Amino acid sequence: MANFKDEAIVLRTYDLGEADRILSLITSRHGLRRVVAKGVKRTGSRFGGRLEPFTQVRALLHEGRNLDTVIQAETARTHAALRGDYSKFLHGQVMLELVEKSLQERQEVPRLFDILRVSLDVLEGEVSDPSLLLAAFSLKVSALTGYRPHLDCCLHCGREVAGGKVSLDLGEGGVTCPRCRSHSGERVYLDPECLALMRRLLREEMSAVARMECGQREAMEVLSASLRLAEAFMERPLKSRHVIMRYLEGNARRPR
Ligand SMILES: [Zn+2]
């Protein structure tokens, strides 16, 4: 069992006994890892407050049979601004959960670390609408893990889907025309403008998505559809989807 160095972002932490903590990390070159940080909860721990969710570290890890161990961790980015802004924090939380749930342990998907790193940096800066950024992130993560959502034309017959609400079939991962629509399976109905927006989010760079704007209702519809697609692909629910959608609905009801 060898030691290895890698860049990593902390996705989640949970306590292990009195002093230790288990961390879920996405690494740049070694996939999703579960690692033990020994003594991290003691005051004066050599890791300090460095191993919290959102923190990006340069880590030296020891590979174990089941769990790895952190030997050293040096902070590269704290993403402190995300912890100080409740809306950004909630949006960022969904990004972390999406990455963790889209991978099996030790599974490596090229570019997944990079898209998270870039997206957290962008979220921390000037963002017109964090919900659009998160929707784009979710669609891109689905695509990177092998489930590119089929949004351009009917996934069965290739006809253009035009006129009225469009049916997005969650189980099949794409849009279907009225002729090919199956009668079973979960689906959401999207306004054509929302579907057009989702196509753009899938295509654009995150830095460009950060400048995109749309109505509040459209942003919520697009975000909800993107996250539900990801859940269908992963075959796992996202706890944080309900949290973010409740938060956004609460904001939408509040008079401005
Ligand atoms: Zn069709």
pLDDT in tens, 152-176: 999 999 999 877 899 999 999 999 9
**Residue 97: pLDDT band by 50, 70, 90 thresholds?**
very high
Ligand 1 center to 178 CA (angstroms): 7
pLDDT in tens, 102-144: 999 999 998 999 999 999 999 999 999 999 999 999 999 999 9
Does an H or E element contain 29, and which?
none
Helices (H), the chain: 80-83, 86-102, 112-124, 130-144, 192-203, 206-209, 216-234, 239-253
Residue-level pLDDT at 144 = 96
Mean of pLDDT values over 54-80: 95
Ranges 66-70, 84-88, 121-125, 162-166: which has the least confidence: 162-166
Ligand 1 center to 160 CA (angstroms): 8
Ligand 1 center to 237 CA (angstroms): 28
**Residue 189: pLDDT band by 50, 70, 90 thresholds?**
very high
Residue-level pLDDT at 184 = 79
pLDDT in tens, 209-248: 999 999 999 999 999 999 999 999 999 999 999 999 999 9
In the 8-state DSSP scheme, what is residue 128? S
- Give the Cα separation of 151 and 233 in Å (integer): 15
Ligand 1 center to 162 CA (angstroms): 11
Residue-level pLDDT at 256 = 59
Q: How many CB atoms lie within 10 A of CB 97?
A: 23
- pLDDT value at 49 more than 80: no
**Strand ranges in 3-54 using DSSP code E only, listed in sequence order:** 3-16, 20-27, 32-37
Say what percent of the chain tops pLDDT 90. 85
Residue-level pLDDT at 75 = 94
Domain coordinates of the chain in residue numbers?
3-78, 81-253
Ligand 1 center to 161 CA (angstroms): 8
Which amino acid type is present at position 252? A
**Contact between residue 135 and residue 127 where contact means Cβ atoms under 8 Å apart:** no
Say what percent of the chain tops pLDDT 70. 99
- Give the Cα separation of 78 and 155 in Å (integer): 42
- pLDDT value at 151 more than 70: yes
Ligand 1 center to 194 CA (angstroms): 19
Q: Please name the fold of domain 3-78.
A: OB fold (Dihydrolipoamide Acetyltransferase, E2P) (2.40.50)
Q: Please name the fold of domain 81-253.
A: de novo design (two linked rop proteins) (1.20.1440)
Residue-level pLDDT at 29 = 96
**Residue 34: pLDDT band by 50, 70, 90 thresholds?**
very high
